[in-house]
Chains A and B, each alone.
Chain A
């Protein structure tokens, strides 16, 4: 009995620890002035505030940067994982660990490297996409690769023996069976690209300010209400992505 109470207490504590910051960001967005320990006045003043063109543009920019980055990342993650899983070539293991290496390096360091290495792209939208790509794609590739590597070689051989070409086997067998890893990669990619701060701070161009940059700027100037609204938008979009991907995954699961 005592063990059960202790376990319940630990779970409750951890849940509060995780949920509290998210709840407070939402509260920030609906409290006009937070002067007391517990807010006593609520309103949508900050939500109206973000209808200003600069903020709307930031929301648009975030979707464009995250969307384009995620498309590149997921396509690369799938194709790259396929090549690393099903083809053998010299130095494959070394190349794979090199490709994954940005995962273990600070985003700020990677961004600095990008600025120096790709001077012509400096201060462009493409540099922001490239930043996301370099940092996030290794993680997505890891997810997809670990899914693909679990597909038994007999399934692939069976497909070939039935007359299926490599492309047909890829689309009809490998892709559906790697679904879990690909969907996890999509969620991870959208989530990380939408909320990337350090990369965006290092690589952004004045015309392409994104939501995380505004959250940072509003926080430094003390306008926590706007930061709260943007944070809530990011949380909602991320949760919606997770639910949408889960829904699609279950609807087309079939097995």
Chain B
């Protein structure tokens, strides 16, 4: 892959906390504008990888590139990597408007007002600007969190299980909204989840993780229908079992 086509490149990345090696010589690439998912069970190192890319923790070894630029030693606040969390992480003492304006104000952006209204319209949250996070529903909070991250036009978008705290119906809606937004903005996105079904539906490519290592990388179709590794077959096989259970339920219900 040409460097100009690379959105994020991770080379030999390792991270230990004390004597526990959480990330072990990780290597992968996310293409520019691609939606890639790190999929694995809880505790496999997905979120740690995300935090290393964000720059909030530093690796013990290895390199991280955004495009051609080595960002390994660049502090978090200068990396221009946006993140959305499972718990939204909205600033509780600021209104939705102030939350969205936060990054733009730091940049002294001359078009703050226009940009905020535009992103709020895009995220369908107009009318909520004066509300504090505790006055918003889970779905609204997630939309505000996405708006806050996207309005500063980050170089890469990192999503840490952003749909885990919303109900099933809203999850389906937000899933397609996130995907549409990502496509329309062409932003390189790394999504972290332990939900196999979600990863299969939303991703361009998936990296299966286990115990701090990448087991296999491929398109959802390849990994689901033709997995190379036994672990991938087992891990994604859950989806098949769920579908079978659903089918059995339907038969019984009839």
Contacts and interface: CB of A to CB of B under 8 A. Distances in A.
B81 A161 contact: yes
B102 to A, nearest CB: 5
A161 B92 contact: no
A160 B89 contact: no
B76 A157 contact: yes
Contacts, number: 73
Interface residues of B, number: 31
B241 interface: no
Interface in A105-124: none
Contact of B152 (A157, A163, A166, A176): A163
A168 B81 CA distance: 18
Contact of A158 (B79, B80, B83, B134): B83
A115 B53 CA distance: 53
Contacts of B91: 155, 158-159, 173, 177
Contacts of A254: 93-94, 132
Contacts of A160: 55-56, 75-77
A153 B80 CA distance: 18
Interface string B83-99: 10101010111100000
Interface string A147-169: 00000111101111111111010
A93 B79 CA distance: 32
A162 B106 contact: yes
A254 B54 CA distance: 30
Q: Which has the most chain A C-beta neighbours within 10 Å: B82, B87, B89, B152?
A: B89
Contact of A168 (B89, B106, B133): B106
Contact of A165 (B55, B77, B134): B77
Contact of B51 (A152, A157, A176): A157
A212 B36 CA distance: 68
Interface size of A as a range: 20 to 34
B103 interface: yes
A76 B95 CA distance: 30
B148 interface: yes
A161 B132 contact: no
**Main DSSP-derived SS at the A contact region:** helix
B107 interface: yes
A208 to B, nearest CB: 41
Contacts of B133: 255
Given A161-B77, A161-B149, 6 more contacts: A160-B55, A161-B56, A161-B83, A162-B82, A163-B106, A163-B107
Interface of A: 152-155, 157-166, 168, 172-173, 176-177, 254-255
30 contacts: A155-B89, A155-B91, A157-B76, A158-B89, A158-B91, A158-B148, A160-B55, A160-B56, A160-B76, A160-B77, A161-B76, A161-B77, A161-B82, A161-B154, A162-B82, A162-B149, A163-B77, A163-B80, A164-B77, A164-B102, A164-B106, A165-B77, A168-B106, A172-B102, A177-B91, A177-B93, A255-B93, A255-B132, A255-B133, A255-B134
